[in-house]
Amino acid sequence: MCTLSYSYVAHGEYYSGSQAIKARNEKKADELALSWKGRSVVVRYNASDPAMSVLLKDDQIGGFGN
């Protein structure tokens, strides 16, 4: 399992979230984490409650690549 942590700004406020991504094994999880480090992601958040967010596989270039 690889957990991506991300931050975003909505309505002038900073928020953060995390997304767990399944990996076949620990080595693949480490490779996945390194491949996402520093990359921009598309974040979807609830406009009435911006603290609620999610990363969708189909929104990301190349999916989650696992």
Q: In the numeric block, which tokens belong to residue 59?
A: 């929104």
Residue-range domain boundaries for the chain = 2-59
Closest CA to 3 of 25, 26, 29: 29
What is the overall mean pLDDT for the chain?
90
| pTM of the complete model | 0.77
Q: Give 40-60 pLDDT, tens digit per residue.
A: 899 999 999 999 999 998 898
pLDDT for 66 beyond 70: no
Residue by residue, what is the 3-state secondary structure of the chain? CEEEEEEEEECCEEEEEEEEECCCCHHHHHHHHHHHCCCCCCCEEECCEEEEEECCHHHCCCCCCC
φ, ψ at 62 (rounded to 5°):
80, 10
